[in-house]
Amino acid sequence: MIKIGIIGFGYWGPNLVRNFSSQKEGNVIAIAETRKERHPSISVNYSNTIIYSNTSELINNVDIDAVVIATPVFSHYSLAKEALLAGKHVLLEKPMTSSVDESKELIDIAKSKNLVLMVDHTFLYTGAVQKMKKLIDQKQLGKLQYFDSTRINLGLFQPDVNVLWDLAPHDISILNYLVKNKPFSVNATGVSHTNNGIENVAYMTINYEDDFIAHFNCSWTSPVKVRSTLIGGDDKMLVYNDLEPSEKIRIYDTGYNHTSDEEKNRIMVDYRTGDVFIPKLSSQEALFGVAFDFIDSIINSKEPLANAELGLEVVKVLEASQKSIKNRGKEIII
Amino acid sequence: MIKIGIIGFGYWGPNLVRNFSSQKEGNVIAIAETRKERHPSISVNYSNTIIYSNTSELINNVDIDAVVIATPVFSHYSLAKEALLAGKHVLLEKPMTSSVDESKELIDIAKSKNLVLMVDHTFLYTGAVQKMKKLIDQKQLGKLQYFDSTRINLGLFQPDVNVLWDLAPHDISILNYLVKNKPFSVNATGVSHTNNGIENVAYMTINYEDDFIAHFNCSWTSPVKVRSTLIGGDDKMLVYNDLEPSEKIRIYDTGYNHTSDEEKNRIMVDYRTGDVFIPKLSSQEALFGVAFDFIDSIINSKEPLANAELGLEVVKVLEASQKSIKNRGKEIII
Amino acid sequence: MIKIGIIGFGYWGPNLVRNFSSQKEGNVIAIAETRKERHPSISVNYSNTIIYSNTSELINNVDIDAVVIATPVFSHYSLAKEALLAGKHVLLEKPMTSSVDESKELIDIAKSKNLVLMVDHTFLYTGAVQKMKKLIDQKQLGKLQYFDSTRINLGLFQPDVNVLWDLAPHDISILNYLVKNKPFSVNATGVSHTNNGIENVAYMTINYEDDFIAHFNCSWTSPVKVRSTLIGGDDKMLVYNDLEPSEKIRIYDTGYNHTSDEEKNRIMVDYRTGDVFIPKLSSQEALFGVAFDFIDSIINSKEPLANAELGLEVVKVLEASQKSIKNRGKEIII
Amino acid sequence: MIKIGIIGFGYWGPNLVRNFSSQKEGNVIAIAETRKERHPSISVNYSNTIIYSNTSELINNVDIDAVVIATPVFSHYSLAKEALLAGKHVLLEKPMTSSVDESKELIDIAKSKNLVLMVDHTFLYTGAVQKMKKLIDQKQLGKLQYFDSTRINLGLFQPDVNVLWDLAPHDISILNYLVKNKPFSVNATGVSHTNNGIENVAYMTINYEDDFIAHFNCSWTSPVKVRSTLIGGDDKMLVYNDLEPSEKIRIYDTGYNHTSDEEKNRIMVDYRTGDVFIPKLSSQEALFGVAFDFIDSIINSKEPLANAELGLEVVKVLEASQKSIKNRGKEIII
């Protein structure tokens, strides 16, 4: 039985407790929350759990095998480092850390101490992403050409990170999981409408060494909520709409062929449209899969699917996007 | 009665004839089409119209007051120049020309000869754009913050211009018409999947001197057709969905306020959602409005709404976008 | 403080406890559940509540002022009668009882003992129905012409009542609440696909003495979930789509005029279309409103909005619909 | 080459000429239109066609092999009878005639004279209906259980027939074509809001000898346009939405199983949901298929798909629906 401590008990906290406690091989035995005014409501609901106001006390509790860190991003690095050095396996909320250097250092420590270090990129464990992964690995889309994601909504301004750091980690992690190509460079643009310099509208292109391209449209100030991604291959294309209750993925047997018309020195393009297929998806709660994978990786000394390397790749893109925005859209090599 | 000659009789030709012929003060008396194999079908349908295979013959027909040029973009400049020098008023299909210099030269000639020079940015004459113009001029959205356009589809690859030159003129002309701010610079990215170097997927940001931002997502290789634009103001926001048969515009009484929380040194943002309003739009055919404005401008010596300056501004953005793509997304000052 | 006992603790139970316990003037002090195997899970979650396995013990607890009955329909009558005779105010789940006679008897008892008798027609307390009530009372739709409701889905076959008894009470209660006209007669048709004679697909028309008409389409075997109602007036029409997360009501400024063309001995009809308006709705949980109204009616000796007369009217329609189906669609006068 | 005369040149006329004239083996040589004021516009567009103002003259033109009758319903019978007696093959617009007796008489005459008699139930020739026919004939839906159609809109009140006679023929013909079962009886209800007794809102159930059921919801006074049909089988279900530009049919691999729980003397029902499939449909214009089938049936002495028997079955249902409405929803045996 893996004994787990959770650091930071905000919006996501009850979900973490519920999903870790429903694991066969896991149990949440302690929660650390520095905002003491929240302790009473925690203790009412989780009467068998130790509650700390000091995070180090939790980290140094020798009964605890693994620590889940669900605090604001800026604190991830120091808490994770402390936990790893104390010999605990660590699951970090996304994004992994505020910088590439921090992520790399955590990876090195985890490796040297043979500990599991994982990032909660929950979307990778959804039925929709798992289905897309399978389709792409089976080459059903053909050669991939583009990934075009829109994640916009009204509300939920973050006070310390911009809209890309807040919303894009979901889509970047999905992109990196689905596509084997490595991002080569990033261009990003955006503006802040709140005078604090934190962009609430931003756009990002990830460039690759070949003709694959990825694009991200993120906003906290859209009147409509959109969470959709188009993925194009040269055989088929798909639309992933996360707001659909069950029909999240539509696969279009649609494409085009190009031929050279040498006489006119031109490329001629014909396209075809075909059937559309909407697969049934697994409805298992994604966070249950995260919790299972974390515990399973600890028990069996294996790499989780949302491993630290994947988390690092996401931070690399985010860090580059920030540099690009501050350099007026300049290409930043990753 | 203004007598009109049309140069180039392709897909758009019958629409031009129909709309110009239904004007009270206008009439199409000649058509020039260099592809002689099309002449029989033209003469069957327009038996009272002179058909030329040589464009100069049409331009030099002294009965003709005004010329409509509906040929590929690369030929716009030379045909328009010839027509203006021959003393004809000119309506050019969009985009105006292939370069800023060409557009500027045509404007100078038209001015010096006191001729109407207009660009067929048809969308400006739709009920939807006219309604948005009114709303924005009445300050109903408040201070404008962003313009975010998506125009994607499967098919219709152009052999000589990229997807931005093909699809973005619609949205750039709408943007420039609705927003008084002048574009300051452009960043654009994109790829070609046809090995001819012509981008079929491209993204563009237009930056402004203040915190307004515009973004364009254009593709010829999307499995779904999307033609929508979000326009955000600090009082209200709207969504313009051109694929809706009648409910093209939705106005959201939605917004957010930000205040400084000095204690925590933070910006706090609250948002509100409210009613949604879908105005009834005029259903007059947009091209009828274009034809009317062209003839009316000739008769009354006035500037048309889709005047050459507006056409030039569109070309400036397109030229800058091309430079930016070729310079790996670098900001290009307009 | 009104002390409440709940009889029957199934799917709806936790919602009832939560909403009654959050009332300023109310508190749930006892739960009766005859299925003893459910007691442990109830006692874990509601540690300060008395749990009975015998419903009469709860009813006869002298501390209890009011009883909420959330058991299968067939038991409503006897439990409610027992509670009323014991001097308790009663809130019944919908539909009120299995027959008109039972409902009438309960109403008589409640009146003679001056007790509140209310039916949990929750939908009346939603922001959507409240908004429609206001619009209709303000005559914004003009003279009402029709009410056309579709409530279909896959699953949730009831073992003892047909699809009309299961799904139509929602819509009948909304209809009766919104429209002052009294139903005159009912025609209903339907079939059972499970060989138990319980219709899983059924259709019902309610006829009125004037030209108003209401229609209901109910199914447990539809591949798609639909919960929508069209309400037409001679000035405006509206669509109420309960599946929309926030835009549940769309008001169409749409209508038609008819004039007599005496020469041709004909009625001529012209129609107009106009703006569409989507009002923001209150997002207060409907069941909170039910609980508040029940307690408020007890304290202030007033009639609740979802009073027993309204509940009776629903049962009248349901009873008539069943007679009509069994008589092959024959009109049954209510 | 089959020479065709068209009687009645209204809204549908140009479509008939275009589709018959594009047949390899057919040609439109004459048009009869009693409204003489329409002749000039017809002669401009169809200069090689004889134009009659007297329908008998067209019918008696010996060059004509076949007559298409596109006049108001009340005149179908007499015109068709005259044409058949003159030895012409006949295509009637839908519905076939105003009464069952008239339709039967026409069928007898056509048989006795060995002439093709066909009804323009255009929908049978659409890609969507052809695809559904194939799916159902291949038993992909399993045993059929219900057919539930909604065809509502604003506008287009007919002055002489009610909304069922106007709109339901489409759906009844589709139903009869897809389902082998014969309708047994009809219940219908409806109201008129124009004081001329012609129902503008009406509902109809068709009952069968087994547990199959069909339902129709028709209105000329809906603020929204809906044209959709649900067809349920015990293996799969489908939704046919005719307003979708290309994705008209969605097949749901969805269903339910019922078992007897003898202990509780109950039927237990479990349901399953699965993939959704949207087949690509043929985009051939349906009326081209009608014209082809008519001419092909004449040349090859075969029965067309939309033959007179099918047309008669539609009229039987309509006539019964009218009786039922006038008898307050009473079941009318067909």
Band the pLDDT of C241: cuts 50, 70, 90: very high
C54: tokens are 């015998």
At D262, the pLDDT band (50, 70, 90 cuts) reads low
CB < 8 Å to D282, chain A:
none
Higher pLDDT, D273 or A170: A170
By the CB < 8 Å criterion, does B207 face chain A?
Answer: yes
Q: Answer whether A67's CB lies under 8 Å from A5's CB.
A: yes
Q: Do A275 and D276 touch (CB under 8 A)?
A: no
How far is B137 from chain C, CA to nearest CA, in Å? 20
pLDDT over 70 at D265, yes or no: no
Q: What value does the mean pLDDT take over residues C137-148?
A: 97
Task: Enumerate the residues of chain B whose CB falls inside 8 A of the CB of residue C247.
Answer: 276
With 80 as the cut, is the pLDDT of residue C71 above it? yes
* CB contacts, 8 Å: A276 with chain D: 247, 277-278
Chains in contact with D, where contact means 3 or more Cβ–Cβ distances below 8 Å, are A, C
Residues B264-273, mean pLDDT to the nearest whole number: 74
Distance CA A253, CA A239 (A): 12
The closest of C105, C148, C138 to C239, measured between CA atoms, is C148
Q: Is the Cβ of A258 closer than 8 Å to some Cβ of chain D?
A: no
Yes or no, beta carbons of C194 and D258 under 8 Å apart: yes
What percentage of chain C reaches a pLDDT higher than 90? 85
Percent of chain B with pLDDT over 90: 85
CB contact under 8 A, B331 and A329: yes
Q: Distance between CA atoms of C7 and C22, rounded to whole angstroms?
A: 19
Indicate the residue of C246, C276, C280 with minimum beta-carbon distance to B247.
Answer: C276
CA A205 and chain centroid, separation: 17
How far apart, in Å, are the Cα atoms of A122 and each of A32, A90, A102, A174, C32?
A: 22, 15, 21, 10, 41
Spatial distance between the Cα atoms of C203 and C329, rounded to a whole number of angstroms: 10
Helices (H), chain D: 13-21, 39-45, 55-59, 76-85, 100-112, 127-137, 163-178, 286-300, 308-326
Contact B275 C273 (CB under 8 A): no
Confidence of residue B121 (pLDDT cuts 50, 70, 90): very high
DSSP category for residue D114: T
B254 contacts on A by Cβ (under 8 Å): 154, 223
Is the Cβ pair A187, B329 closer than 8 Å? yes
pLDDT of residue D264: 63
The runs of H, that is alpha helices, within D179-307 are 286-300
Give the one of A274, A275, A280 whose C-beta lies nearest to D273's C-beta.
Answer: A280
Q: Can you state the angle between helices C76-85 and C100-112, rounded to 10 degrees?
A: 10
Contact (CB<8Å) C246/B279: no
Are C54 and C39 in contact by the 8 Å Cβ rule? The answer is no
**Interval B224-251: pLDDT, tens:** 999 999 999 999 999 999 999 999 999 9
Contact of A199 with A162, CB cutoff 8 Å:
yes
Please report the domains of chain B, with CATH numbers, ordered by start residue.
2-121+287-304 (3.40.50.720), 124-283+315-333 (3.30.360.10)
What would the two tokens of residue B121 be?
Answer: 């940015």
C184 in contact with D, Cβ within 8 Å = no
The mean per-residue pLDDT over the stretch B5-13 comes to 92
Beta strands per DSSP E along chain C:
2-7, 26-32, 50-52, 66-69, 89-93, 117-120, 144-154, 185-191, 201-207, 213-219, 221-233, 237-241, 249-252, 255-261, 266-272, 276-278, 332-333
Candidate from B157, B271, B329 with C-beta closest to A205: B329
Confirm if B16 and B22 have CB atoms less than 8 A apart. no
CA distance B203 to A232: 16
- C277·B273 Cβ contact <8 A: no
Whole-angstrom distance, CA of residue D331 vs CA of residue D334: 9
Closest-approach residue (CA) in chain C for D198: C267
Whole-number Å distance between alpha carbons of D71 and D79: 9
Does B263 score more than 70 pLDDT?
no
For chain B, what's the residue count?
334
* Helix, strand and coil in chain D, % to nearest 5: 35, 30, 35
| Cα C251 from Cα C126, distance rounded (Å) | 17
Residue A40 pLDDT? 86
Quick check: C276 and B278 in contact, CB under 8 A?
yes
Tell whether A306 lies on the interface with B, counting CB pairs under 8 A. no
Mean pLDDT by 10 residues, chain A (334 residues): 95 91 93 92 83 96 97 95 98 97 98 98 98 97 97 85 95 97 97 90 97 97 96 96 95 85 70 92 95 98 97 98 97 97
Average pLDDT (D263-277) is 79
Residue A190 in contact with partner chain B when CB distance is under 8 A: yes
d(CA D14, CA D54): 19
Q: Is any Cβ of chain A less than 8 angstroms from the Cβ of D259? A: no
Contacts of D276 in chain A (CB under 8 A): 247, 277-278
**Cα→Cα distances A207→A152, A320, A329, B151, B214, Å:** 22, 12, 13, 21, 21
Do A279 and D278 make contact, defined as CB atoms within 8 angstroms? no
- Rounded to whole angstroms, the Cα distance separating B72 from D287 reads 36
Cβ pair C273:B246 closer than 8 A? yes
pLDDT-derived band at C272, boundaries 50, 70, 90: confident
The SS3 of residue D139 is: coil
Q: What is the tens place of the pLDDT at every residue in B60-101?
A: 999 999 999 999 999 999 999 999 999 999 999 999 999 999
Residue B265 pLDDT greater than 80, yes or no = no
Please provide the distance, in angstroms rounded to a whole number, between the alpha carbons at the two ends of chain A: 40
Give the single-character DSSP code of C33.
-
ipTM surpasses 0.90: yes
CA atoms within 13 A on the CB side of D34: 11
Q: Which residues are registered as beta bridge partners of A241? A: A228
- Computed over every residue of chain C, the mean pLDDT equals 94
Chain C residues touching B279 at Cβ < 8 A: 275
To the nearest 10 degrees (0 to 180), the angle between helices D308-326 and D163-178 is 130
Residue B118 and residue B90: Cα distance in Å, rounded? 6
Range with lowest mean pLDDT among A130-139, A179-188, C8-17, C176-185:
C8-17
B252 contact C CB<8A = no
A72 interfacial to chain B (CB closer than 8 Å): no
Residue with tokens 């005459």: D109
CA distance A173 to chain D (A): 26
Instruction: State whether residue C189 sits within 8 Å of chain D by CB.
Output: yes
Tell me the one-letter amino acid at A326: K
Measured distance CA(A284)–CA(D183) in Å, rounded: 45
pLDDT at D45: 76
Please, which residues 30-69 of chain B have a Cβ atom closer than 8 Å to chain C?
none
Distance from the B23 Cα atom to the nearest Cα atom in chain A, whole angstroms: 38
Asked if residue C329 lies in contact with residue C188, where contact means CB atoms within 8 angstroms, the answer is: yes
Kindly report the nearest CA distance between residue D253 and chain A, in angstroms: 9
Please give the pLDDT value at position D295: 98
Burial letters B285-298, b for 16+ CB under 10 A, else e? bbbbbbbbbbbbbb
pLDDT (tens digit per residue) in C46-61: 878 999 999 999 999 9
What's the alpha-carbon Rg for chain A, to the nearest Å? 21
- Per-residue model confidence as pLDDT tens digits over C273-314: 899 999 999 989 999 999 999 999 999 999 999 999 999 999
Question: How many whole angstroms separate alpha carbon A241 and alpha carbon A221?
Answer: 19
Task: Give the model's pLDDT for residue A272.
Answer: 82
CB contact under 8 A, A253 and D277: no
Residue C196 confidence (pLDDT): 84
Query: What DSSP element (H or E) covers A134?
Result: helix A127-137
The radius of gyration of chain B from alpha carbons, rounded to an integer in Å, stands at 21
Neighbours of chain A (3+ CB pairs under 8 A): B, D
Q: Measure the CA–CA gap between D284 and C239, rounded to whole angstroms.
A: 34
Residues 6 or more apart from B228 whose CB is under 8 A from it? B149, B150, B239, B240, B241, B242, B243
Phi-psi bin for A154: left (phi > 0), alpha (psi -120 to 50), beta? beta
Letter for the amino acid at C309? E
Nearest by CB: A276 against D253, D273, D278? D278
Chain D contacts of A277, Cβ < 8 Å?
275-278
| Chains linked to C by 3 or more Cβ pairs within 8 Å | B, D
Given a cut of 80, whether residue C155 has pLDDT beyond it is no
Would you give the DSSP letter of residue D138? T
Evaluate if residue C43 carries a pLDDT over 90: no
Facing D237 at nearest CB: one of C223, C234, C328: C223
- The answer to whether the beta carbons of residues A206 and A214 sit under 8 Å apart is yes
**What is the β-pairing status of strands B332-333 and C332-333?**
unpaired
Cis link prior to D95 (omega < 30° from 0)? yes
CA-closest candidate to residue B246, choices D34, C161, C273:
C273
Nearest CB neighbour to A207, from listed B189, B219, B252: B189
On whether the CB atoms of residues C191 and D211 are closer than 8 A, the answer is yes
Contact across the interface for A212 and B205, Cβ inside 8 Å: no
- CB pairs < 8 Å spanning B and C: 26
* Chain B touched by C280 (CB under 8 Å): yes
Nearest CA in chain C to B253: C280
The C-alpha atoms of residue A150 and residue B251 are separated, in whole angstroms, by: 21
Q: Given CB atoms, is C140 within the 8 Å cutoff of chain D?
A: no
Q: Is C201 an interface residue toward D (CB < 8 Å)?
A: yes
* Selection from A41, A55, A44, A45 nearest residue A8 by Cα: A55
CB contact under 8 A, B253 and C278: no
Backbone phi and psi for residue B74, each to the nearest 5 degrees, phi listed first? -60, -25
Contact C280 B253 (CB under 8 A): yes
pLDDT at C263: 64
Distance from CA of B279 to the nearest CA of C (A): 5
Q: Nearest Cα to A92, choosing from A84, D168, D63, A100?
A: A84
Which residue type is seen at B22? S
Average pLDDT over residues B270-283: 91
pLDDT of residue D270: 79
Taking the mean position of all CA atoms in its chain, how far away is CA A18? 20
Q: Is residue A143 less than 8 Å (CB to CB) from chain B?
A: no
The torsion defined by the Cα of C288, C289, C292 and C298, in degrees rounded to 10, comes to: -130
For position B115, what pLDDT does the model report?
98
Identity of residue D239: V
Integer Cα distance of A251 and A236 in angstroms = 7
Flag whether pLDDT at B328 surpasses 70: yes
Listed residue (B23, B22, B15) closest to B295, CA to CA? B23
Contact between chains at C154 and D267 (C-beta distance less than 8 A): no
Give residue B78's pLDDT.
Answer: 97
